[in-house]
Structure formats: structure tokens, C-alpha cells
Amino acid sequence: MKTRKKTQAEIDHDKRENEKSTENFIAQSLDFIDTFFACEGEVWYSTSMKIQHTVFHYQNNKEILAADKVGDTWDMDNGIIGKYRYENI
């Protein structure tokens, strides 16, 4: 598979996406904490799933930001991001 280094535009895109996922992670965490205490520790499954989904996106965006190559397909083990992620920038 042919790979190349990320362009500055792609790096900037990943930084923006990482900032969004960080903000969402914080907001969802606050909502979870509020619900947890309001319900005296009883948390609904949907609330738990929302925070789990947000944590996944947060961690995934951190990994994408750390990757330094772009290729035809994704290979996160080798730091390669699929080129289609950047088609709209």
C-alpha cells in the first residue's frame, strides 16, 4: 500500500475533530455525573451508552491525530489513516 505524510490541512482537520470530541466528552461526562447524582447512583442504560460512545470517539480521534500517514486503507497499528477521511476538506 502506498502511503504519504499528512498534509497540514489534514493535520488541522484532525486537530479540529479532536477539539470537538474533547468538548463532547466533557459535556457528556458532566451530563453523566449530573444524572448519576440526581438518581442517587442509579444510571439509565441510555446514559451509560452515551458516555461510552463519547469516550470511544474521544480516544479514536486522539489516535487519528497521532497517526502521521495517509493511505488507501486504514491501518491504525501502523499509524495510517484512510484517505477518504479527508475527501471533504
Residue 44: its pLDDT value, please?
Answer: 81
2 pLDDT above the threshold of 80: yes
Q: How far is CA 2 from CA 12, 82, 84, in A?
A: 22, 11, 14
Per-residue pLDDT reduced to its tens digit, 29-86:
999 899 888 988 887 888 889 899 999 999 999 999 999 999 999 999 999 999 999 9
Residue 30: its pLDDT value, please?
Answer: 94
**Three-class secondary structure of residue 3 per DSSP:** strand
Residue linked to cell 484512510: 82
In angstroms, rounded to a whole number, what is the distance separating the alpha carbons of residues 61 and 49? 18
